[in-house]
Structure 1
Amino acid sequence: MTIQVGVTGWGDHDKLYTDPKERQQKLKTYSTHFDVVEVDTSFYAIQPMSNYEKWTAETPAHFSFVIKAHQDMTGQSRKKMTRAEAASLFEAFLSSIQPVIEADKLAAILFQFPPWFKVEKASIDRLRYIRALTKGLPVAIEFRHQSWYTEAYRKQTLNLLQELEFIHTVCDEPQAGSGSVPAVPVATNEEMTLVRFHGRNVHGWNQHGREDWRKVRFLYRYNEEELKEWQASAARLEQSCKRVLLLFNNNSGGDASDNAKEMMQLLGHKLPDPPPEQLHLF
């Protein structure tokens, strides 16, 4: 049983990179701070296999990746595809990540569904089709429409994830209408549960009309009390699965890496030693 902490992406966390050399080797430096990272560039474009070869080579053996599924695979792009086109897309995506799989560094493929992906037959059929195309691989499912967790459907949702051997992605986010989900810390896969921290900026969550809405949405810093609540929840999840991954996505104000480090301290994890120059301050 283990709990691991990381953040989404490794490029935008400036506090982790204190000198020019570290900024040139961000992932290598990142892997001295955390054991897991979320790859989000794969959501916007299928990455070349060479990228994954490079990333696996410059991270230690125990390091792992949560790789976000391409937006066409989740319906976020609203692109219409035939079954043959969808199968071809999945084949291209899965082929690209083979270096991570072969290096035994794949924690999960994360399918983050759009806010309009609600409980209905077509959605359930899509989930079953995704599982057929990803058979044998660790797949994490993140819902963003509240219908999946209403009193009428919550138990059925969790049962479906368990039936399909999907990893439940638990979200900590603002409760701001149908396009947000409550935190439901329940494991549906004995191997892993994923928790993603999006912040609690309720006023910024639905600001899609603003040009900078992405920055506003994730502008939040968790306080110690909030982190302690999740420390307890993570410990309970750990009793139901072998591995719990906590990923902080609240980086609009540069808070994700700080909150991740604070969570590691609460969990009793060893933090990396400070740079040598800091050792001689006193």
Structure 2
Amino acid sequence: MGDILVGTASWTDRTLLDSGWYPQTADTPEKRLVYYARQFPLVEVDATYYSPPAERTARLWAERTPAGFTFNVKAFSLLTGHPTRVGALYKDLRPDTEKKNLYPDDLPPQAYEEVWTRFLSALDPLVEAGKLGAVLFQFPPWFTIKRENKQYLLEVAKRCAPLRPVVEFRHASWFAGDNAEETLGFLRRHELPFVCVDMPQGHKSSVPPVLAATAADLAVVRFHGHSDKWTSKDIHEKFGYDYSDRELRDWAPKLRELAGEAERTHVLMNNCYRDHAQRNGARLREFLDAD
């Protein structure tokens, strides 16, 4: 069985800071990251989805964490086709527009290429420190199963090489009927790691909890919770789910089985409201270690 790393999708969420999970002595961003890294070996950086990271920031992350610590970094929204605030773009690349949000086609090709270059190069300090695990490409609900989108997945892999992109879908078409076999087969042929998810079902954005390793080196599972307010625009309502011990205990053997198919398995709790993700992650690790 390959290594299983358990972590959370945030260490800076406002409600987490208010929850009391951090000791009073962890009263600066540096001290909080140091404390977090003593509790978990893995973290996912989601802030990079909203605004591309600076290389200096990535260097500080690397310096403030111990050897062997792993960061997964979420891709900037423009690179996954999500609407992107004009103000989130690099200042010198912002177009003169009255639009509030931009998409890739709203930028000149040269500017779009530059966004890719700067985003990936900003991760260099993590790469040099051996602390970059994967780059998460979570695609929007309108990214459906079709040839054009499959080609974009291959483009992402080519652009990121030798970094490791991992792919998360948010549209049911990828796993509807026979499409499940087609989707997993495509990812396996191109050795693209599939991000398994646990999330609410019954929505257009719902993907079933399919556990599959589509690359030999890495498998990823993200736990989004089962909030009955999944369509809420309030992210704390959407992800504010507290897993029970029974749910986590039931997941442990499934995760161990998945870990038998890959060298490493990353498990991320994305139910980021107060300390739910941290408590659930620690509890899940206990169940994984029990056997």
Please give the TM-score of this superposition, normalised by the length of structure 1: 0.89
Q: Which residue of 1 aligns with 2:248?
A: 227
Residue pairs, 1:178-197, within 5 angstroms = 178-197=204-223
1:155-170 matched pairs, under 5 angstroms: 155-170=181-196
Structure 1 position 46, deviation (Å): 1.1
How far residue 253 of structure 1 moved from its aligned partner, in angstroms, is: 4.4
Classify 1:231/1:72 alpha carbon distance in 2 versus 1 (closer, same or farther; 3 Å): same
Which residue, 15, 28, 33 being the options, matches 2:34?
A: 28
SS in 1 for 2:73: strand
Write the distance in 2 (CA, Å) between the matches of 1:61 and 1:268.
22
Residue 280 of structure 1 is matched in structure 2 by none
Percent of aligned positions with the same letter in both sequences?
31
Output aligned runs, 1:104-119, within 5 Å: 104-119=130-145
Question: Structure 1 residue 11 and structure 2 residue 46: aligned?
Answer: no
Report the alpha carbon displacement of residue 51 of structure 1 after superposing the two structures with TM: 0.3
Q: Distance in 2 between matches of 1:83 and 1:240?
A: 39
The 3-state SS of whatever aligns with 2:82 is coil
Q: Which runs of 5+ in 2 are unaligned?
A: 84-101
* TM-score (structure 2 length as normaliser): 0.86
Q: Deviations over 1:67-92 (max 9, x none)?
A: 00000000011603355443322111
Measure, in 2, the Cα distance between the counterparts of 1:160 and 1:88.
29
Asked whether 1:145 is paired with 2:171, we answer: yes
Structure 1, unmatched stretches of 5+, are 270-282
Match in the other structure for 1:277: none
Counterpart in the other structure of 2:264 = 243
Alpha-carbon distance, 1:174 to partner: 0.3
**Match of 2:120, SS?**
helix
Name the counterpart of 2:56. Answer: 50
SS of equivalent residue, structure 1 residue 215:
helix
Q: How many residues align?
A: 264
1:184-229 alpha-carbon deviations (Å, 9 max, x no partner): 100001111111110011x201124xxxx21111111111121112
How far did 1:22 drift? 4.9
Paired residue type of 2:161: K
Provide the secondary structure at the position in 2 that maps to 1:171: strand
- Given the superposition, is the C-alpha separation of residues 103 and 26 from structure 1 closer, same or farther in structure 2, using an over 3 Å criterion? same
* Separation in 2, partners of 1:86, 1:190: 32
Query: Residue 149 of structure 2: SS of its match in structure 1?
Result: helix
**Deviation beyond 4 Å, 4+ runs, structure 1:** none
